[in-house]
């Protein structure tokens, strides 16, 4: 087998025993440990699995392994295609990839779409760490993993912006440092020379001794290439050696593919003669050098004018609320560690909303031991809904959205204190005349008449959370957070959003916002992120009063950034650097407005 740089895992009957969508799975700790061991060797791991993304992610997060995977492809599409997309995104060659799957048809499909890929069944796992091709190199600090995570974040941003690729690169603030004293980087240079292919223009392989002689030779011009951008530090990812007017070595890691680094450096050193051996992934041009790259002579990450902020500590954030809050993550300060508990799809195929304070207050082993069998019968909940990491001491900042409390109806189980939340507080799901509406709205989540009949027999509708209960629950929530840590609470919009059934919902939000303000007013470690400051018209929303436009999420993130900056002393001068991001967001808004105008014109034409 050729050197493995990436292992792609199937999940069902490979990474774990069982099928996630059909039955409880048996988590295999030995595979968990193998992923970490491979990561310590500089071999990255990914996933290609036919599963529901949110369900699989929740399972892997629960076992603390999700963060070790990069570019996961969890979907119902053919695996051969997904692998092809993955290999392109991660910028490796198929021959350096190992795909492990229990289904031989999937293995054959992978080979058909990705010629040269290495494949194997789960039987390889027992000895995978003994394979010569998986020996890797020491990376106990997980530098390679962090660099691919950086690449993953960058690709996500690139896909979700409307600007051109060149404009995206220009906004990325790419810096290159040319390190002339190369001897301290001997091992990294040796690895690049002998392992890189896609951006290795000369492909002259060297032994360790030969490289040492080259680095000690004063007549040879040479340099290590270190690359930074606003996403982070890519490390040493290039090397060149020029003797007289001829390039003998000119090579780069694939992690900086499509950034234009190779052309920038080629022009920087005077476009010397070079004999290109074999195929390369990017041509060298004799035209103008890319103008979105500049040289960093200070060994610091800069945007060309000043050093970006360096945080005095690495702030760990956890968010609890709807999945729309994940959009805020994209605009938070680089350097924050982000964790989230949001809506997810259960193994039953239902969407689980579990951020209501009544659910949070009942999260824990006592509820599961007392009411576990009842929870198992509820189609829109599962046991994971009553497990939470939100109050873990490992976080510095806790961000909580109140919108589930503002929206959901409450139901009491028989004559107990077990209360759950479901759907809208204006609609009683225990009344038979509402069943058809519930079944239609939740058809894809398998909500059926048999379940609703059982639910109506065992649960009593309480309506919206009472003012008194909301106050008590918010006080309880605040008391769970250490007074030395920061709790940020997001309130609700008061825009008169008219689509039914929300035409008067803004009035209810107004009342709840007032209750929230009164309740937390005297708490020094609690800050309300007031979304009302960013929402002035119906167009600031997306499909309901609880979802907002991208520019609103940007502004919410700005507020959160500012609050954390004040508490944890992030260097000043950061917000001006977000202007480019704001311009991108405005382009998205402009694009959506134009799209709406085009739709209106089409309707007018159709109507004659």
**Which of 192-206, 226-240, 370-384 bottoms out in mean pLDDT, i.e. has the lowest?**
226-240
Alpha carbon distances (Å) from 550 to 327, 329, 562, 574, 582 = 8, 12, 18, 20, 10
More confident residue, 567 or 186: 186
Using pLDDT thresholds of 50, 70 and 90, give the confidence band for residue 161: low
Q: Report helix, strand and coil shares of the chain as percent, to nearest 5.
A: 45, 20, 35
Q: What burial letters (b/e) apply to 36-75, b meaning 16+ CB within 10 Å?
A: eebbbbbbbbbbbbbbbbbbbbbbbbeeebeebbbbbbbb
What whole-number distance in Å separates Cα of residue 455 and Cα of residue 449? Answer: 10
Share of the chain above pLDDT 70, in %: 86
Closest CA to 170 of 580, 594, 468: 580
Can you tell me the mean pLDDT for 373-378? 94
Contact 363, 386 (CB under 8 A): yes
- Tell me if domain 171-295 and domain 316-572 are identical in fold: no
Q: Tell me, what's the pLDDT at 143? A: 82
Using pLDDT thresholds of 50, 70 and 90, give the confidence band for residue 31: very high
Using pLDDT thresholds of 50, 70 and 90, give the confidence band for residue 333: confident
Furthest-apart CA atoms within the chain: distance in Å: 89
Q: Tell me, what's the pLDDT at 93? A: 86
The answer to whether the pTM exceeds 0.75 is no
User: Domain 316-572 classified CATH 3.40.50.1110?
Assistant: yes
CA 527 from centre of chain: 25
What whole-number distance in Å separates Cα of residue 140 and Cα of residue 237? Answer: 19
Contact 182, 270 (CB under 8 A): no
Q: Tell me, what's the pLDDT at 603? A: 56
Can you tell me the mean pLDDT for 256-284? 87
- Here the tokens at position 110 are 């992978």
Alpha carbon distances (Å) from 92 to 137, 210, 238, 248, 607 = 17, 27, 16, 24, 53
Q: Tell me, what's the pLDDT at 301? A: 37
Q: Is a pLDDT exceeding 50 seen at residue 257?
A: yes
- Here the tokens at position 477 are 């929530």
Can you tell me the mean pLDDT for 209-220? 92
- Here the tokens at position 261 are 């680094």
What whole-number distance in Å separates Cα of residue 534 and Cα of residue 397? Answer: 22
Q: What is the DSSP letter of 173?
A: -
Can you tell me the mean pLDDT for 395-409? 95
| pLDDT tens digits for range 168-205 | 777 778 889 999 999 888 988 998 998 888 889 999 99
Can you tell me the mean pLDDT for 65-71? 93
Can you tell me the mean pLDDT for 15-30? 90
Asked whether the bond before 553 is cis by omega within 30 degrees of 0, the reply is: no
Helix (H, G, I), strand (E, B) or coil at 545: strand
Can you tell me the mean pLDDT for 126-147? 88
Q: Is a pLDDT exceeding 80 seen at residue 223?
A: yes
**Which of 237-241, 359-363, 435-439 bottoms out in mean pLDDT, i.e. has the lowest?**
435-439
Write down the architecture of domain 171-295 according to CATH: 3-Layer(aba) Sandwich (3.40)
What whole-number distance in Å separates Cα of residue 549 and Cα of residue 554? Answer: 9
Using pLDDT thresholds of 50, 70 and 90, give the confidence band for residue 576: very low
Contacts 24+ apart (CB under 8 A), 158-167: 160/330, 161/584, 161/587, 161/588, 162/584, 162/587, 162/588, 162/591, 163/584, 163/587, 165/258, 166/292
Domain range list for the chain: 6-147, 171-295, 316-572
Using pLDDT thresholds of 50, 70 and 90, give the confidence band for residue 588: very low
Alpha carbon distances (Å) from 293 to 166, 289, 305, 597 = 11, 9, 13, 38
Superfamily of domain 6-147, CATH level 4:
HAD superfamily/HAD-like (3.40.50.1000)
| pLDDT tens digits for range 294-332 | 887 554 433 333 343 344 456 889 999 988 788 887 778
Q: Is a pLDDT exceeding 70 seen at residue 440?
A: no
Q: What burial letters (b/e) apply to 396-434, b meaning 16+ CB within 10 Å?
A: bbbbbbbbbbbbbbbbbbeeeebbbbbbebeebbbeeeb
| pLDDT tens digits for range 345-358 | 777 777 889 999 99
295-299, 416-420, 448-452, range with greatest mean pLDDT: 416-420
What whole-number distance in Å separates Cα of residue 287 and Cα of residue 589? Answer: 36
Q: Tell me, what's the pLDDT at 302? A: 36
- Here the tokens at position 118 are 């290495």
Share of the chain above pLDDT 90, in %: 50
């Amino acid at each position: 087998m050729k050197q493995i740089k990436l292992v792609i895992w199937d999940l069902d009957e490979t990474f774990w025993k069982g099928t996630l969508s059909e039955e409880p799975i048996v988590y295999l700790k030995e595979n968990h440990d193998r992923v970490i061991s491979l990561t310590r060797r500089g071999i990255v791991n990914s996933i290609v699995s036919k599963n529901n993304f949110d369900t699989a992610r929740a399972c892997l997060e629960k076992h603390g392994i999700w963060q070790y995977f990069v570019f996961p492809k969890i979907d119902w599409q053919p695996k051969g295609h997904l692998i092809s997309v993955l290999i392109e995104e991660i910028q490796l060659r198929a021959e350096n990839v190992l795909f492990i799957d229990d289904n031989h048809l999937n293995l054959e499909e992978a080979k058909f779409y990705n010629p040269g890929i290495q494949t194997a069944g789960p039987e390889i796992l027992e000895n995978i760490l003994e394979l010569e091709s998986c020996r890797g190199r020491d990376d106990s600090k997980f530098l390679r993993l962090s660099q691919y995570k950086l690449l993953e974040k960058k690709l996500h941003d690139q896909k979700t912006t409307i600007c051109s690729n060149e404009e995206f690169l220009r906004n990325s603030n790419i810096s290159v440092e040319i390190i002339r004293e190369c001897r301290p980087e001997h091992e990294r240079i040796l690895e690049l020379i002998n392992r890189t292919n896609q951006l290795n223009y000369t492909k002259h392989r060297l032994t360790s001794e030969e490289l040492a002689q080259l680095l000690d030779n004063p007549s040879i011009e040479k340099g290590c290439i270190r690359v930074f951008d606003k996403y982070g530090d890519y490390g040493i990812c290039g090397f060149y050696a020029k003797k007289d007017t001829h390039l003998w070595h000119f090579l780069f890691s694939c992690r900086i593919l499509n950034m234009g680094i190779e052309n920038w450096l080629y022009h920087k050193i005077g476009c010397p003669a070079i004999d290109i051996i074999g195929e390369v992934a990017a041509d060298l041009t004799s035209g103008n050098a890319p103008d979105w790259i500049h040289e960093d002579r200070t060994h610091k990450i800069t945007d060309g004018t000043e050093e970006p902020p360096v945080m005095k500590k690495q702030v760990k954030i956890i968010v609890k609320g709807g999945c729309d809050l994940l959009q805020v993550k994209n605009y938070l300060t680089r350097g924050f560690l982000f964790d989230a508990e949001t809506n997810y799809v259960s193994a039953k195929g239902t969407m689980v909303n579990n951020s209501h304070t009544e659910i949070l207050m009942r999260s824990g082993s006592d509820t599961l031991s007392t009411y576990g069998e009842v929870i198992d019968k509820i189609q829109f909940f599962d046991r994971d809904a009553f497990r939470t990491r939100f109050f873990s001491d490992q976080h510095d900042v806790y961000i909580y959205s109140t919108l589930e409390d503002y929206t959901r109806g409450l139901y009491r189980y028989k004559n107990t204190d077990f209360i759950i939340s479901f759907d809208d507080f204006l609609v009683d799901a225990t009344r038979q005349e509402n069943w058809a509406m519930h079944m239609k709205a939740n058809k894809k989540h398998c909500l059926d008449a048999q379940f609703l009949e059982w639910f109506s027999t065992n649960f009593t509708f309480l309506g919206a959370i009472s003012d008194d209960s909301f106050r008590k629950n918010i006080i309880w929530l605040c008391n769970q957070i250490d007074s030395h840590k920061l709790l940020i609470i997001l309130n609700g919009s008061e825009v008169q959003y008219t689509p039914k059934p929300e035409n008067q919902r803004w009035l209810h939000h107004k009342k709840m916002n007032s209750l929230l303000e009164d309740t937390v007013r005297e708490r020094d470690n609690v800050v309300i992120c007031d979304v009302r400051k960013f929402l002035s018209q119906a167009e600031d929303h997306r499909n309901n009063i609880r979802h907002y436009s991208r520019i609103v999420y940007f502004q919410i993130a700005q507020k959160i950034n500012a609050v954390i900056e004040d508490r944890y002393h992030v260097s000043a001068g950061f917000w001006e650097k977000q202007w480019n991001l704001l311009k991108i967001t405005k382009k998205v808004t402009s694009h959506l407005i134009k799209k709406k105008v085009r739709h209106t014109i089409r309707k007018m034409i159709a109507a004659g």
